[in-house]
Amino acid sequence: MKALHKRIKEEGQALSQNVLKVDSFLNHQVDPELMYEMGTYFRDYFKNHGITKVFTIESSGIAPAVMTAMQMNLPMVTLKKKTSKILNEDVYQTTVHSFTKSVDYELTLSKKYIKADDSILIIDDFLANGEAALGAARLVEAAGAKVAGIGIVIEKSFQPGRKALDNKGYDVYSLARIAKLEEGIVEFVE
């Protein structure tokens, strides 16, 4: 996606081999027009996958996921990272490790927002080690539903996440695939 590549090149900050800061348009400040365009790419790629709902993990995946869901005319469900006092025991949960924050969290999905006959599109902001996407997929599959696809805004292709998802047989579509990341350097997969 050329517009996303351009924004990453112009505004993204490669802080290290593992950290790309894109808070000016994706997660602290959000560019709604860019999110809308991302939604069109995800919609077009996954349009024949029989998707019934779009899922994402709070919080940076919400903007691209809601735009995708809007364009597909589908509900969007946010998987929670923190257990809420208002969520009772009617939930699916799985432990996910965040390498960025060096913490484990309980990813939570209310059972009332998924049915066994659902076909789910998971949208996430980054793919690095694959822990978040795999955790979301575990929740979908625990409900007996199908992971129809996984849409990623920015994939760090040099890290093992893509291979882990491919090995599970998931259809993964990334809008920007980064081949190399170093302080001040971002190179895309051609």
Binding-site residue ranges for xanthine: 20, 27, 156
- Binding site as annotated, residues for 5-phospho-alpha-D-ribose 1-diphosphate: 128-132
Under a CB-based contact definition with an 8 Å cutoff, are residues 98 and 133 in contact? no
Closest Cα partner for 38 from 72, 78, 77, 9? 72
Under a CB-based contact definition with an 8 Å cutoff, are residues 71 and 63 in contact? no
- Binding site as annotated, residues: 20, 27, 128-132, 156
Tokens 């927002």 belong to residue: 113
Copy the structure tokens of residue 87: 């969520």
Q: Which amino acid is at 60?
A: S
